Chains A and B, each alone.
Chain A
Amino acid sequence: MATIILLSFLFQIILVIALAPLVTGIIRKTKARFQHRRGATVLQPYYDLVKLMRKDVVVSSVASWLFHCTPFVVFSSMVVISLLVPTVVTPVPLHWVGDIIAVIYLFALGRFFMALVGLDTASAFGGLGSSREMSIASIVEPAMMLAIFTAAVTAGSTDLSVIVDRLSTTPASMLNPSHLLAFAGLFVVSLAETGRIPVDNPATHLELTMIHEAMILEYSGPYLALIEWASQVKLVIFLALMANMFFPLGMATTWSPSALAVGAGAFLLKVIGLALIVALVESTNAKLRLFRVPELLVVAFILSLLSLILYFIVGA
């Protein structure tokens, strides 16, 4: 048993963490294609990480110890989340450690430290980034909670594995309108949470528009690598959440190699599929003005609320 847990532990960590740069690479590649560019290879994010790991760390003279510990906090919280979210197998061995609420709050923990660091170096950009990040996160949160609420209510539990289980046993409910609406809500939320267009542009360093990048502007070298990696992991986690909370098809329920293989395949397919959708959205939309973002998130909120009301009326 212990070995299985340990194995699954490693399996999950490796799957998500190792996959994360790839997914980012795929999105970048797709976007490049949409822009009629060839784009870098999908493996480029890996090269970037390795490169950064080898670089010097330049630390601001103003920075405090928070500057040094934040990358680890952020990275660690993302990895812990990846252990709680069912990817290939359900139930996740560590599902008792935390549920979907813990996941949401772990994201918040990482964001909290990141925003602090934005203020740590006395840079004007850092504060700007923190301020925007926290503001947008604040209005994302209710919409996200509602979207997840629908799923949790359907399953009668906030335990992610239970949610996934319940849904796999009644596949028909996947096409339930309330379910789909909640998914749509979560999709919008995910775009905002992971800093994608139309909320944030991960590729920009223009002070008028940047949010996430502004906070980490002072980071360099391995620290930057950790943070970048963490945000790539975050993206994968969100894709996994969307995929498995709403369409848990093909997930392994045992630890047999064949089931795992099928599960891993299905997971990859779903994540890459969603990544392509994200890339599509990013390519076909312009970034919104900062103060238009709340309107978008209100849409997400309404979608989630509608899904709950539908759930109540239709009674999935």
Chain B
Amino acid sequence: MVDWEAFQPAALTVMLGGYALGGVVPAILGILWRNRTKPGGSLTGAVKNIGFGLALAAALAGCLLSLSILISGTPLHMEFLPTAHVGMMGFHADTLSALFIGAISLLGAAAACFSLGYAAEFLLRRSMVLLVVLYNFFVLSMIGVLIADHALLFLFFWECMSLTTYFLITFEHEEHAARRAGFLYIVMTHIGTAFLLVMFLLLYSTAGSFAFEAFRMEGARLPASTQSVVFLCATIGFGIKAGIIPFHIWLPEAHPAAPSNVSAMMSGVMIKTGIYGMVRVFFDFLGPVIPGWWGVLILTIAVTSSVLGVLYALMEHDLKRLLAFHSIENIGIILMGVGAALLFASWGNRPLAVIALIAGLYHVLNHAIFKGLLFLGAGSVLHAAHTRNIEDLGGLIKRMPWTAFFFLIGAIAISGLPPLNGFISEWLTFQALLLGFHIPDLTVKIVIPLTVALLALTGALAAACFVKAFGITFLGLPRSGHADRAGESSFTMLAAMGFLALLCIFLGIAPGPIVSVLNPLASSLLEEASTGQIVMHAGTVLIPRSASASISPAALTGLLVVIAAIPLAGISIFVLKSRSRIAPTWACGLERIDPRMQYTATGFSKPLRIIFSDIFRATHEVGISEEPSPYFRPTITYELKTESVFLKYLYEPVFRSIVSAARIIRRIQTGRIQTYLAYIFVTLILLLLFAR
């Protein structure tokens, strides 16, 4: 028997220490040897290796910590007293925290390893010290958010996380897009924090303490109206961070702007801290007795986010923006699980809620891994081809075969196709929703089938989008010189992606360990005594409640491979051996196929753009140059714009009205001293009249 009591604090210390050192040591180096750590300086490489090396070590420790908590089920608890006036604070890592720590650490390990190679790009251009310091403190604050057991501590880490990411987003601040993204991000996240602060204060007003323990005890006893306000505040506050629609506007701007290793962490795990917060507040603090409309609201948000997220992704040709929109989509899918769990719990059907919650949490882990993988892949592409615009890419599968392979794994996983991990969590979500149809309520009966249908739509659209993303980026002929000259990434980068790809496969084929860990976790969150809502039997996921709906991804994979092998063997032995020949692609009778004859990403997404034209409101402009003669036109430009409904009809009007209100109020500062004196006069008179 392992001594968890001794091991866990040690692992925690190593993890936190690793990140902290990874932040502090480069900072000290940077201050001591300012010149040698400048871009191009002799120490920059060392700074990079120290910083990301420590991050890697810390991430590995984090994996161990997470595993130990998840397996043993014993939470890690630590307390300390920072100052008298705020009282005792503590760290508390229960299985829920451990799950998220696990996601961070797995992806963190990969991202750190990836960065060792990837960050070399910045050696000559950018302050490596800054990157490393920010990166490590970013991850550290994420961990802090997950283990904080006190509202002040939580907000502290929460805001540190926002702060570090802000500087990471604006890391390449010469780009206007990065500055804009940073601004949008920091403003949105700050508004979110304001809601969170209100939420904690409301909880505090009843619990009388900011310790999460007190929230846990008293949260369920709040008056119903307060509970609902807390719920709404949490939904908005955490939702902004998670990137739910309509609070998503920052996300597609911010994630692409950051360096790719950071985008991977942001998209893969940072937005999950929003999910963590929601689960923590909804189930741990407020739950499990909750009003029915919560679940409906969350499901509505979930469906909107997932469908619109993927639709917007389809219109994107910037690889990283595209991935960012998919994050919105996947947050939607996660929230489908969470929302369904809320809905079922409100009807008192906790075992069912457990299934839904497991589905959501499983997808958290999955999304962290495949989205991380995809962002790292996008980073590799960017690194090699110096562009994120897929219209300029193509043919990379031959130039960077391993990257292409790993990206393909990620693409299959995110599209929810068997036998990879995305499929399992979507399958569980479907199961939970199907079972929930038996709840005798009209709203539920309408909401659930629609959710199911739209989840199916989401999955299909995601597949379409990744056919586009992978196909246009990696297949065919290179569409630009950059793409043509691209080369394979360095070993550390490939290793990182390979690790994540393996995880995608592992989590897809062997869901057993995860489910067996998630089931007690979800049961305890919902205060459901029994576990075993999802049973693992010989590699098969079984849901006993649903007349034994089951799936065995391992067997499925086995069958797929074996059955594919039969014709493969047959064809390669009997047919192909001598009679295969290479020929150019048919080019409609032209001499040679040209990259420009290929389908473009814009063209690829056109059918969907037309089908969903009400959502996209696309406008295009065709520019035909009249030079040198109207009969011979060397260049034709085609520019396509899709309109962001939320920006146009929600944010811009709000922004405009705030500005015009501010303009009106600003008139009080007239510049005329007589007016100012009149203010004093009037204030005095008013006080004398009313405040005597």
Which positions in A face B, CB cutoff 8 Å? 53-66, 71-73, 75-77, 79-80, 83, 94-99, 101-102, 104-106, 108-109, 111-112, 115-116, 118-124, 126-128, 130-132, 134-146, 149, 152-153, 155-159, 162, 217-218, 221-223, 226, 290-291, 294, 301, 304-305, 308, 312
Bound form: Cα–Cα A304–B453 in Å: 10
- For B584, the closest partner residue in chain A by CB is A61
Are the CB atoms of A108 and B460 closer together than 8 Å? yes
Q: Which of B412, B567, B585 contacts A112 (CB 8 A)?
A: B412
Are the CB atoms of A141 and B456 closer together than 8 Å? yes
Are the CB atoms of A157 and B560 closer together than 8 Å? no
Bound form: Cα–Cα A248–B277 in Å: 48
Bound form: Cα–Cα A5–B540 in Å: 18
Are the CB atoms of B452 and A146 closer together than 8 Å? yes
Complex A-B, nearest 9 residue pairs according to Cβ-Cβ distance, in ascending order: A127-B599, A119-B471, A134-B464, A76-B564, A145-B456, A135-B607, A157-B547, A141-B460, A142-B453
Give 7 A-B pairs besides A132-B607, A145-B453, A145-B455 with Cβ atoms closer than 8 angstroms.
A61-B582, A75-B563, A109-B412, A111-B463, A134-B460, A146-B452, A159-B549
How far does the Cβ of B586 sit from chain A's closest Cβ, in whole Å? 6
Are the CB atoms of B597 and A122 closer together than 8 Å? yes
Q: B residues 588-621 with Cβ under 8 Å of A?
A: 588, 593, 595, 597-600, 603-608, 610-611
- For B555, the closest partner residue in chain A by CB is A97
Cβ contacts under 8 Å, B437 to chain A = 149, 153
B217 at interface by CB-CB < 8 Å: no
Are the CB atoms of B581 and A59 closer together than 8 Å? yes
Are the CB atoms of B454 and A119 closer together than 8 Å? no
How far does the Cβ of A1 sit from chain B's closest Cβ, in whole Å? 15
Are the CB atoms of A102 and B606 closer together than 8 Å? no
Are the CB atoms of B548 and A157 closer together than 8 Å? yes
Q: Which of A116, A142, A143 contacts B471 (CB 8 A)?
A: A116
B629 at interface by CB-CB < 8 Å: no
B293-319 interface code vs A (CB 8 A; 1 in, 0 out): 000000000000000000000000000
Bound form: Cα–Cα A305–B452 in Å: 11
Cβ contacts under 8 Å, A121 to chain B = 476, 585
Cβ contacts under 8 Å, B587 to chain A = 123
Cβ contacts under 8 Å, B575 to chain A = 53-54, 57, 221-222
Q: Which of A62, A138, A222, A291 contacts B460 (CB 8 A)?
A: A138
Are the CB atoms of B470 and A102 closer together than 8 Å? no
Are the CB atoms of A120 and B563 closer together than 8 Å? no
Cβ contacts under 8 Å, A143 to chain B = 453
Are the CB atoms of B586 and A127 closer together than 8 Å? no
Residue contacts A-B, CB under 8 angstroms, 30 given: A57-B581, A60-B584, A60-B585, A66-B408, A72-B567, A75-B563, A76-B559, A94-B559, A96-B540, A97-B540, A98-B552, A104-B456, A122-B595, A123-B587, A123-B597, A123-B598, A124-B599, A128-B599, A130-B604, A131-B605, A132-B607, A134-B468, A135-B607, A138-B463, A145-B456, A146-B449, A146-B453, A159-B550, A162-B548, A218-B585
Q: Which of A79, A95, A132, A304 has the most CB of B within 10 A?
A: A79
B430 at interface by CB-CB < 8 Å: yes
Bound form: Cα–Cα A301–B417 in Å: 22
Cβ contacts under 8 Å, B546 to chain A = 156-159
- For A129, the closest partner residue in chain B by CB is B599
Cβ contacts under 8 Å, B394 to chain A = 122
Cβ contacts under 8 Å, B476 to chain A = 62, 119-122, 127
Bound form: Cα–Cα A254–B460 in Å: 37
How far does the Cβ of A179 sit from chain B's closest Cβ, in whole Å? 15
Are the CB atoms of B463 and A134 closer together than 8 Å? yes
Cβ contacts under 8 Å, A122 to chain B = 394-395, 475-477, 585, 593, 595, 597-598
How far does the Cβ of A225 sit from chain B's closest Cβ, in whole Å? 9
Are the CB atoms of B556 and A97 closer together than 8 Å? yes
Cβ contacts under 8 Å, A305 to chain B = 449, 453
B68 at interface by CB-CB < 8 Å: no
B interface SS class: helix
How far does the Cβ of A127 sit from chain B's closest Cβ, in whole Å? 2
B220 at interface by CB-CB < 8 Å: no
Q: Which of A71, A145, A217 has the most CB of B within 10 A?
A: A145
Bound form: Cα–Cα A128–B597 in Å: 11
B214 at interface by CB-CB < 8 Å: no
How far does the Cβ of B311 sit from chain A's closest Cβ, in whole Å? 10
Taking residues whose C-beta sits less than 8 angstroms from the other chain, chain B's interface range is 35 or more
Are the CB atoms of A62 and B585 closer together than 8 Å? yes
Cβ contacts under 8 Å, A308 to chain B = 445, 449
- For B311, the closest partner residue in chain A by CB is A138
Are the CB atoms of A131 and B564 closer together than 8 Å? no
How far does the Cβ of B212 sit from chain A's closest Cβ, in whole Å? 37
Q: Which of B456, B459, B551, B560 contacts A77 (CB 8 A)?
A: B560
How far does the Cβ of B100 sit from chain A's closest Cβ, in whole Å? 27
Bound form: Cα–Cα A162–B430 in Å: 17
- For A140, the closest partner residue in chain B by CB is B460
Q: Which of B454, B549, B583, B588 contacts A59 (CB 8 A)?
A: B583
Q: B residues 303-362 with Cβ under 8 Å of A?
A: none
B31 at interface by CB-CB < 8 Å: no
Cβ contacts under 8 Å, A96 to chain B = 540, 542, 548, 550-552, 555
Are the CB atoms of A153 and B417 closer together than 8 Å? no
Are the CB atoms of B597 and A124 closer together than 8 Å? yes
B571 at interface by CB-CB < 8 Å: yes
Are the CB atoms of B551 and A102 closer together than 8 Å? yes
Are the CB atoms of B445 and A56 closer together than 8 Å? no
Q: Which of A94, A137, A149 contacts B463 (CB 8 A)?
A: A137
Bound form: Cα–Cα A143–B456 in Å: 9
How far does the Cβ of B126 sit from chain A's closest Cβ, in whole Å? 34
How far does the Cβ of B241 sit from chain A's closest Cβ, in whole Å? 29
B136 at interface by CB-CB < 8 Å: no
Are the CB atoms of A119 and B599 closer together than 8 Å? yes
Are the CB atoms of A149 and B434 closer together than 8 Å? yes
How far does the Cβ of B544 sit from chain A's closest Cβ, in whole Å? 11
Q: B residues 508-558 with Cβ under 8 Å of A?
A: 540, 542, 546-552, 555-556
Are the CB atoms of B463 and A112 closer together than 8 Å? yes
B439-482 interface code vs A (CB 8 A; 1 in, 0 out): 00010010001001111110111011011101110111100000
Cβ contacts under 8 Å, A128 to chain B = 599, 603
Are the CB atoms of A149 and B449 closer together than 8 Å? yes
Are A142 and B551 also in contact (CB < 8 A) when A56-B579, A72-B567, A218-B585 are? Answer: no
B380 at interface by CB-CB < 8 Å: no
Bound form: Cα–Cα A162–B560 in Å: 23
Are A116 and B475 also in contact (CB < 8 A) when A80-B559, A111-B463 are? Answer: yes
Bound form: Cα–Cα A107–B556 in Å: 13
Cβ contacts under 8 Å, B598 to chain A = 119, 122-124, 127
Cβ contacts under 8 Å, B423 to chain A = 105
How far does the Cβ of B537 sit from chain A's closest Cβ, in whole Å? 8
Cβ contacts under 8 Å, A57 to chain B = 575-576, 579-581
B427 at interface by CB-CB < 8 Å: yes
How far does the Cβ of B218 sit from chain A's closest Cβ, in whole Å? 39
Bound form: Cα–Cα A136–B576 in Å: 34
Cβ contacts under 8 Å, A79 to chain B = 563
Cβ contacts under 8 Å, A95 to chain B = 550
Are the CB atoms of A112 and B564 closer together than 8 Å? no
Are the CB atoms of B563 and A80 closer together than 8 Å? yes
Are the CB atoms of B593 and A123 closer together than 8 Å? yes
Are A138 and B464 also in contact (CB < 8 A) when A119-B599, A124-B599, A159-B549 are? Answer: yes
